[in-house]
Amino acid sequence: MCAEWINDYTQFLADVGRAPTSNHQIDRIDVNANYTPGNTRWVTLRENVNNRRCTFRVEYKGVCWALAELCELLELPYKQIWERIRRKGFTVEEAIETPFRKTKRWHNA
C-alpha cells in the first residue's frame, strides 16, 4: 500500500475518494501492482472477483473477458463452457457458438 495512505487517511480520500456505496470494495486495476494512486478504484464484489489473478480469462471477438462475466452476459452455463475449453479442447469460439445438445430425461412411469 502507498506509504502516504498508511499514515494519512485524508490523503487516501483525496486520491481515491469515498466508496460510492457500502457494497463497494477497494480494488487494484493492475492486480500485479500495489495499491497506489492511479491503480486503485472502487468496485463491486463481482468486479473484484473478476479481477483476481486466478480468474480464467478468454479472448472472444477481440476482447479479453473473465469467462464467468462473458457467460453471464451471453446467458450461457459457465461450467459447461469451461469444460468445453479446458477439458475438451474447444476454442473459445467453438465453446460459445456450438449449440448444446438437448438431453432426454427419462421418467419412471
Q: Tell me the pLDDT of the chain (109 aa) as tens digits.
A: 888 898 899 999 999 999 999 999 898 888 889 999 999 999 887 778 777 777 788 999 999 888 988 999 999 999 999 999 999 999 999 999 999 887 766 666 5
Q: Residue 76 belongs to what domain range?
A: 56-101
Q: Which of 15, 38, 53 is the last residue of a domain?
A: 53
In a shared domain, residues 32 and 11:
yes
- Alpha carbon distance 81, 86 (integer Å): 9
In a shared domain, residues 65 and 47:
no
E strands present in the chain: 25-28, 40-43, 57-60, 63-66
In a shared domain, residues 49 and 1:
yes
Looking at residue 3, its pLDDT comes to: 85
Q: If we measure between CA atoms, which residue out of 107, 103, 87, 106 comes closest to residue 95?
A: 87
* Residue 108 within a domain: no
Looking at residue 51, its pLDDT comes to: 72
In a shared domain, residues 16 and 39:
yes
Looking at residue 109, its pLDDT comes to: 54
* 64 SS3 class: strand
The one-letter amino acid code at 48 reads N
Looking at residue 104, its pLDDT comes to: 67
In a shared domain, residues 16 and 49:
yes
- Has this prediction a pTM greater than 0.75? no
In a shared domain, residues 41 and 70:
no
In a shared domain, residues 32 and 62:
no
Helix, strand, coil % in the chain, rounded to nearest 5: 40, 15, 45
